[in-house]
Structure 1
Amino acid sequence: MSARWRLRRRRARERSRRRRALGLAVLALALVALGVLAYLYLTRKTWWEIALEPAPASCRCVAFRLDDIQDFFTREAQVDLIKIFLEEGVPLTMAVIGGSLHDDRELIEFLQPAASAGIEAANHGWVHSDHTALTGREQRDSIVRTNDRIRALFGVEARTFVPPENPFNDQTLSIMKEFGLTHLSGSVFLKADQPPFPLKNGDMIFHFPQTAFVSDVDTPTGVWRLVPPEQILEMIRDSVGQHGFAVVVTHPIAYYDRTEAGYVYHRALLEPLRELLREVKRGFKVVRIDEIDRQGWIPKDVPRTLRLREHAVSWRGGATRLATGAEVAIEVRGERLVLERRGGAWPAPFVLLLPEAITPGAPTILAAGESLPTLRWFNPEAATWIVYADPPPWARSLQVMPQGGPAPGR
């Protein structure tokens, strides 16, 4: 063999080795790429979370509640209190004791035009006693008879129930639902419920409890005292900050002194209330209790628009921002909400996740066509979905799901 031929053989073997090495390298790269693609497929994005700022239209509203409207006692204070609200143009919810408003025609004739002028007549039971101590039939009788009395006296249907002494139970809620009472106002100081308050079958009773008070009673002595206006304003601000609304309660008897000769009325004690109403009007929207509705406790005449603060795509490894500035318009249609995306660069299909709105400690997802709450994921194919119920603005979290199954670990 010549040296030239051996050189050619050596070069051919080297080229062959290089080709094999290159082939192996390409194969390795292909396997790596395939592995990466498989990993990306297995860990592909399956859900988006959009954090919402507190709704700019959130309630920031205050409702005043005057308890114990009746005609056997405190007539002067009842009339003067309601006059102040009418003169200041401030809405009021008056809680009527049905079985104790029938004898004083002069008081009734004063209350009738007040109810026509926008004062809400709420059901405060037939007698002023703890309704949780009553049987179901007794509760039903109390609520129904008071509804009938309010209808006969004022020509309106009561929508709010104020439980005497504030306690209530499941029977109370069922009876309210049966007879069209939509709003419950007890006391957050007695039973720390977070509205709205769901019935077991998924229907809603909207609970807006007392969160502040103009007057308070010393339980051991039974003596009423008036709270300084600055303390009332502090309670209102705290409640609006925490709940999005405040319900401020007063009682006519608080403007009387108990003496050996009996109760003495002091009209001058009402003037701080007038100043309080003016101060509250400057900083908050004042509504009746039945005007606070279910859409995040927003009064019915306020536009319902939420602005998205951040749009993030999430998967097992973390989160990456995709877009900002999207907007969701919420339109109320009867008992339903319709959510419509306007602008922004986020995927169209979505559902609304309502954290702890129905089931404490667990997220609840309500979507189109469903009448009962569920705890499962949806894969919607439309950009607009109808949902039922609504949590506070600060508790909302919008879940946007593409095709691909439920979010990992959810």
Structure 2
Amino acid sequence: MVPVVAVTSLRRNVTAGVALGLLLVPGCHAAEHRLPHAEAISLPFSDVPGAAVGEHVVETDHSVVGYRYPLLGAGHPLTEEVRTVMAARQTAFLEELSGSGRPELRQDVSLLAASQEVVGTRLTAVSTAGMRESRESSTLWFDAGSGAVLPWTALFRDEEAVERVHVLLADVLREDYHLPLADLPGVVGEAALRAAEEPGAVEEAEGDESSPDTAGAAGAGAARDGAPSGAFDAERAREVADAWSGSPLEDVAFSTAGGLTVRMDPTQVPGAGQVSDVMLPVEPQQAEELLSELGFHAREAALSGPDPDVFLEEGPSAEGGTLDCERLKCVALTFDDGPGEHTDALMDTLAEYDAQATFYVLGSLVEEFPEALERMAAEGHELGNHTWEHDDLSGMSAKDIEADMARTNAAVRDVIGVDPPSMRPPYGALNGTVRETVGLPIILWDVDTLDWRSRNTDEVAEHAISHSTSGSVVLFHDIHESSVRAIPDVLDELHRQGFHFVTVTELFEAGLEPGDVYTDARHE
């Protein structure tokens, strides 16, 4: 639940600080619009003082995908959710490729509000294929009190308020855009029909352009799915957002006037004219009656301008480790026995696909290639312990195993400042002593490319591509040039299929336990 604190009533005081001049969405000013219009408070993350963004573009022969997302501190829930939503949309885009042309998907994020209580973001995806262009937008709201990332429904006090705000949008479309009740689009039209059927609502005559009196239409609590009204918790907010899927309120922001502004596709609004977006207003007084406690905090944060301390508190996070693989097609590419002379070329290729990998390194090679380890850590890759010099641990005593693991951990720690989070035993050789002694999660694999045996680039690539599925851990060796040459084809094809390349720790997000053995995190 959102903590209850005092909020300023719009009935008493509505102010828009000097910062608002910087926050207006580019476009025409309200004075240039004959129809009702609202200016949304929004700012590119790249323009927010103290904020950091991650940005990547992956260009292939079949497509271009680009995305920018906020870096709000190590493990910040909003960064993870934004990246995961973008990744899911990217997968859907790639899975729908027709095989002709070179379509593009560009995703970006802007800031709607930022304070110690709440951070609001708008995610925008623009896809182009030939002369066709389509746009999707949605918003996410981080509640610092609960640590939850919530959909737009959490801005409203209950389901009655959600219903009511749709009726208010319907009123604007009917009164100012002269849309008949039967022509109102989607869920807005459904809400208006329910309002018109409420006792006391004015019946709309055939062809009459006047709108019914819907001032109290939602007052009976006729929620869309029939559930009783009440304060939202996080789970219920998501359920209600699912029930209202397709609502224009998925892209809701606060206006410079202190109300709400809702973006609609002009193709759904006949009479809107030659505009790129229809920005429907919900007046400040109307909005105040509908907002939740989180909604009041969000409105206050939007009107006050972003609090820079929100972005400076923890500093930018590493660019890896921010995807929820339980909801995505993820695969972990792992590389053993290095680092070596081909490892830098491998990382060059991984960078082209914004791919993170896990390197199980030999402690004896760390001093020879310290720059490679530094680069791995800087680019979001993960380093695992593969023993000091590739000895078979299953033939060693517990004391010798402990010494080997400690020596390798220390070598890695001396270069990158942290211990490896997992280990891989050479040859996959295990016994009870190994499991009880290594002190780290033990990562094996479910896709073995046998690259050390074949040394055939095409065979290695084909095996990895044909056997990988969501949750797979794929085994390569970066000491073999033939294996490194296979990675461009592996990345290209798995990327085209909508996979995301993550570290082992990220793949097993539910947690890894020391001494336990893991081969994959497949969803089946």
> Aligning the two structures, in what range does the TM-score lie when normalised by the shorter sequence?
0.3 to 0.5
Q: Which structure would you say has the larger Rg?
A: 1
More relative contact order, 1 or 2 (CA 8 Å, 6+ apart): 1
Q: TM-score, normalised by structure 2?
A: 0.34
Question: Normalized per residue, which structure has more strand?
Answer: 1
Q: TM-score, normalised by structure 1?
A: 0.42
